Amino acid sequence: MSTALFFHTGSLIDPKALSSDRVDLYIHVAYSELDTKREVKKIVRITVIIGMTISFCVNRLWKRILAKQKARRLKGNEESHTPFPSDNLNQVQELPLFNFEMLVRATNDFHLSSKLGQGGFGPVYKGKLSDGQEIAVKRLSRTSAQGLEEFMNEVVVISKLQHRNLVRLLGCCVEGEERMLLYEYMPNKSLDAFLFDPHKERLLDWKKRFNIIEGIGRGLLYLHRDSRLRIIHRDLKASNILLDKELNPKISDFGMARIFGSDEDQANTNRVVGTYGYMSPEYAMEGRFSEKSDVFSFGVLLLEIVSGRRNTSFYNDEQSQSLLGLA
């Protein structure tokens, strides 16, 4: 069978008139006249497959990058002025790690209106996570070497503890020079904000005050006797007792706490830390502390709760008596 190729540039003719034999006709027509639907569907399918493949690869790569960033945050920034102690790395790994940018958004870039207070550790801010959970963020002051020690001490101590009368640690942030601790938010702040306020103190009837005293006692007993670790708090005071929405007390601020061994009854230190007025005499004068040191502080706190007066409010008194002397 022969094949012939004809080019016709004149008027349209009937192809049947060209030959009685079978011939192949190649007809040039406009692109718009072609049926492109099948080709378009094929292209779409290929594009979707390629897009899904790229998305999968990017997702895997992103997870690897995040994992490496988390590892770097744990090791700390080598150029940081407050390097992260590698000896305590395992303690931090047991806690949930929060991203710094997440906390910036949660606290409105650590805005002054979000600030709850200021301590030796650094400022404390109120924040709200994307899921609506309210948190308290303790941000270590970058210039505080003592704060870094307290930060690690608090991580080591409170990450091992769990009790209804102890504030709950939710996680931490370790990124570059940033060191932050995240706690459950206590809407009624600290006990001193109620106890020594002329208006709020009226909300503390005897039943509530007794409940607060009892709760602090239970928390202290847990620290000294019932927890896995034997803890001496060393800074028990009204401002370190937080109140939840029902005014239930929770002991907080374990930056100065000390872990005792099972065979240890007391310890000595050259660095006396805590708050004068709450310190036991042997600790303030000799640096000797034990469970009794916390019990002494608890006694001072109990007198403040019962009387509604600060122990330090007597310093300008004519008789120069302290709350203990008055009692």
Residues with catalytic function: 235
Q: Residue 290's beta-bridge partner residues?
A: 266
Using only C-alpha atoms, the chain has a radius of gyration, in whole angstroms, of: 36
Name the strands in the sheet holding 115-118, side by side, starting at the edge strand that comes first in the sequence: 115-118, 123-128, 134-139, 178-184, 169-175
Integer Cα distance of 318 and 44 in angstroms: 90
Integer Cα distance of 19 and 25 in angstroms: 11
Integer Cα distance of 171 and 162 in angstroms: 14
SS3 110: coil
- Its sign, for the CA torsion 153, 297, 223, 253, is negative
Integer Cα distance of 114 and 287 in angstroms: 37
Give the number of other CB atoms < 10 A from CB of residue 148: 19
Q: Report the b/e string of 220-253 with b at 16+ CB within 10 A.
A: bebbbeebeebbbbbbbbbbbbbbeeebbbbbbb
